[in-house]
Structure 1
Amino acid sequence: MAVQIGGLIGLYGGAALGILSWWLGRRIVKKQRGLDELYEHIWQKSRSISWFFTLTSIYILFSLVIFGIEIGAAMTLAIILTVHLASWGITGMILSINMNMTEPLKPSRVKFGISVVVVSLITFSIISIVTGNWWFLIASIPPNIIGLISALTPDKNKEN
């Protein structure tokens, strides 16, 4: 068993950069007096919502195993961790934007944008698993960006 240097760098380097970014972000927000009850509520709610996405991804992965698609333990954990952290960050961002805007985001646009992201990720993940080629996941980046932009852009047609 050879040690994969790139994997070690990605695993521990990513964790170190994530912790450093989290710490610096909280430090900056604290200087701007942003660590208040609203901040705590937003991120607590976001963690709560992200568990629903995580539970859904677990059920999808179990369904794939039931249908005979073999997925390694490391890949399964990577998918679950990515879904959990991404949904936590994205929902936290949406809630932060929505609660700090004068006009809240339109729920139908947010639902459409999130639906585009979810369908894109599920579709390209299944294609990647079936073909065994994980490069198909890169093709999900443009639809994900379009979905996020759609979800996070306020309605410009609204009359003032």
Structure 2
Amino acid sequence: MEVQIGGLIGLYGGAVMGILAWWFGRRMAKKQRGLDELHDHIWQKARSISWFFTLASIYLLFTFIMFGMELKAPIVLAVIMLVHMASWGIIGVILSINMNMSEPLKPSRVKLGISIVAVSLIIFTILSVTTGNWWFLLASVPPNIIGLIFALTPERSGEDFEK
């Protein structure tokens, strides 16, 4: 059995960085009195919505297996964990921004931006799985960033451009 040092560093280093970021974020929010009922509601709602994305990813992985694709347990668990954590974080950020803006984001823009992210992730994941080259997932980063920016920025009206 071969130990993959980079994998261990990524696995545990990512966990440590995530815990430190979570702790630092909560500390900063506590200083600014941001840990209130609204904060709890937003992140509970985000967590419950992320389970729908997790369920969809499980069904997608089962579909891949039914079509004869051999998937190993670490890959399946990594995909499920990534989908759950990423959707929880993205939805939490969208809800936080939307609740704290003077004018809420338009649901159509948010849905379109999230759709861009989902479609690019699905396409590049299928490309990666079928070719066996995981570098294709890096190609999904630009469309994902564009989709997130589109989803998280309010639509500008003509009055904003005149100022």
TM-score, normalised to structure 2's length? 0.96
Distance 1:138 1:40 in 2: 33
DSSP 3-state at the match of 1:42? helix
Match for residue 128 of structure 1? 128
Amino acid at match of 1:120: S
Match for residue 75 of structure 1? 75
Deviations 1:72-127 (A, max 9, x none): 11011111110000000000000000000000001110000000000000011011
Structure 2: gaps of 5 or more residues: none
Match for residue 114 of structure 1? 114
DSSP 3-state at the match of 1:150? helix
Structure 1: gaps of 5 or more residues: none
Amino acid at match of 1:91: I
Distance 1:121 1:150 in 2: 16
Distance 1:61 1:159 in 2: 47
Query: Is residue 17 of structure 2 the alignment partner of residue 17 of structure 1?
Result: yes
Match for residue 6 of structure 2? 6
Q: Give runs of aligned pairs for residues 33-72 of structure 1, distance below 5 A.
A: 33-72=33-72
**How many correspondences in the alignment?**
160
Amino acid at match of 1:23: W
Amino acid at match of 2:139: A
Distance 2:111 2:135 in 1: 27
Match for residue 93 of structure 2? 93
* Dislocated runs of 4+, deviation >4 Å: none
Distance 1:5 1:131 in 2: 25
Q: What is the CA-CA distance between 1:7 and the residue it aligns to?
A: 1.0
Distance 1:75 1:49 in 2: 23
Query: Is residue 157 of structure 2 the alignment partner of residue 157 of structure 1?
Result: yes
Q: What is the CA-CA distance between 1:159 and the residue it aligns to?
A: 4.7
Query: Is residue 39 of structure 2 the alignment partner of residue 30 of structure 1?
Result: no
Q: What is the CA-CA distance between 1:18 and the residue it aligns to?
A: 0.6
Distance 2:41 2:155 in 1: 25
Distance 2:145 2:98 in 1: 19
TM-score, normalised to structure 1's length? 0.97
Q: What is the CA-CA distance between 1:158 and the residue it aligns to?
A: 5.8
Q: What is the CA-CA distance between 1:14 and the residue it aligns to?
A: 0.8
Distance 2:139 2:69 in 1: 21
Distance 1:46 1:136 in 2: 29
Amino acid at match of 1:106: K
Give the % identical residues.
Answer: 72
